[in-house]
Structure 1
Amino acid sequence: MSPKQKQPAIVAELGRPETAEETAARKAEDSRKHRSKQTSTNLWLSLLATLAIAVVLVLLVPRSDSPADPDIDYTALAVDAQEAVDAPLAVPVLPDGWKANAAELRTSTTGGVTSWYVGFITPERDFLAYSQGVDGNSTWLANLLDDHRVTGQTTIGGQQWDVYDDRDDSDAGNLEYALATDVDGQFYAVYGTAEDAEFTTLATALAEQIGAP
């Protein structure tokens, strides 16, 4: 007498036993849900690990206490730079609110002209700078101003200046506007993105340094 065969279990949702195809589909779905759950868990663990690393880096990396806008003592730097050149370097005296963020002697790659450069953040938060070409020339000036053309002349601080107005040029960069003059072989240029009033302030202070009446 053969043993009694076990009858397939009746599935409540179906009201009958599963077919082989239904059983395979159910197991496949259960496996997919399990893998999906594992993937979500791994993703959260990975995000938590990344966050932990970021926190550690923030805590360990030293932070500078220097201000976002450095205020360089360009007058003191000019005294040091003066030892390297014979011509007197221009050091304009400016009102409160002007902050120098760079001051140095530079040597051009074409012609080897030495120049004294000072860059400023203006009170209106614009960029403005001046360069003095020691024994400079027109080639040095053209290179400095990226070959922009003279668009006019003006007199500021008793000194006549050539005007380079490229504010309508979207590619002008930091050379939106410039003023240039030369006195006794020294070339001077004021350039940047500031408005006319701040250009006038710097050009006037500079003119007082370069032999203007």
Structure 2
Amino acid sequence: MAEPAQRPPRIVAELGRPETPSETAARKAESSRIHRSSQTLRNLVVALVASLAIVLFIVLVVVRPDGATRAPIDYRSVASQSQPTVSQTLAAPKLPSKWTANSASLETGADGIQAWSVGFITPTQQFIGLVQGIDANGSWLSDEVKKARSTGTVTIDGTVWTVYDRRSASDPGNYAYSLSTVIGASTVVLHGGGSTAEFRTLAAAISTQLGRDR
């Protein structure tokens, strides 16, 4: 039986002679290394693209702020429907047209205190929450302002409000600025990130409504 023909040695152009066995082995080893490096880089790119796709999916589909998904609601209508169940007039002031609300509810806490809450979105797209405690006590108020200390008082349309200014804090959240007052048997707390002027607008409207209905 005839033996298979052997491949002639590879001619190295730079040297003008056939490769030696050691040069052939070195060339093949380098070729394998380059191939493995290329595969590793390709795998890293694929993994990175997949990771970015997952993050984008989470941001667009899963993680959405509650406020962004809530449609404006008629808080005055909700207040009217809830009014028969409480002894005090619920704060539902009439506000300028660019003000909206994205939440409104009347709940009774573990302490037995009924609390009316409205989440307002101001004309500058900032949040100001209104919480009205019926026959509330000092402990309830402390909880509603997150145990912040008073930083002064301000009189708005004849009503004195206690100020809790924490705008210089590192992360005050929705309690960067708060106001509280007592009107009749109601303790009213405003809190959020709106401007001082926006807080004054809301506070004045509440004072006008609740003061008129006393």
> Does the CA contact (< 8 Å) of 2:88 and 2:185 recur in 1?
no
Q: Structure 1: how far apart are the matches of 2:189 and 2:14?
A: 88
Q: Structure 1: how far apart are the matches of 2:200 and 2:45?
A: 59
Aligned to 2:192: 192
Aligned positions, number: 197
Superposed CA RMSD: 3.3
Greater displacement, 33-42 / 130-139 = 33-42
Aligned to 1:21: 22
1:211 aligns with 2:194: no
Q: Structure 2: how far apart are the matches of 1:194 and 1:9?
A: 79
Aligned to 2:79: 78
Could you report, residue by residue, the CA deviation over 1:75-99 in whole angstroms, capped at 9, with x for unpaired residues?
1111232243332212100011001
Aligned to 1:90: 91
Q: Structure 2: how far apart are the matches of 1:159 and 1:170?
A: 30
Pairwise CA distance, 1:168: 2.5
Aligned to 1:121: 121
Q: Secondary structure at the match of 1:171?
A: coil
Q: TM-score, normalised by structure 1?
A: 0.76
Could you report, residue by residue, the CA deviation over 1:134-191 in whole angstroms, capped at 9, with x for unpaired residues?
1211111110001112222222122222222222223332222222111232111122
Q: Secondary structure at the match of 1:128?
A: strand
Aligned to 1:64: none
Greater displacement, 140-149 / 153-162 = 153-162
Q: TM-score, normalised by structure 2?
A: 0.76
Q: Structure 2: how far apart are the matches of 1:210 and 1:91?
A: 9
Q: Structure 1: how far apart are the matches of 2:155 and 2:37?
A: 76
Pairwise CA distance, 1:204: 0.8
Q: Name structure 1 gaps, 5 residues minimum.
A: 62-66
Residues 1:134 and 1:13: Cα distance change in structure 2 (over 3 Å): same
Residues 1:9 and 1:117: Cα distance change in structure 2 (over 3 Å): closer
Q: Structure 2: how far apart are the matches of 1:85 and 1:28?
A: 85
Aligned to 1:105: 106
Aligned to 2:138: 138
Q: Structure 1: how far apart are the matches of 2:165 and 2:153?
A: 10
One-letter amino acid of the counterpart of residue 160, structure 1: V
Pairwise CA distance, 1:39: 5.6
Residues 1:143 and 1:38: Cα distance change in structure 2 (over 3 Å): closer
> Percent identity among equivalent residues?
46
Q: Secondary structure at the match of 1:155?
A: strand
Pairwise CA distance, 1:14: 1.7
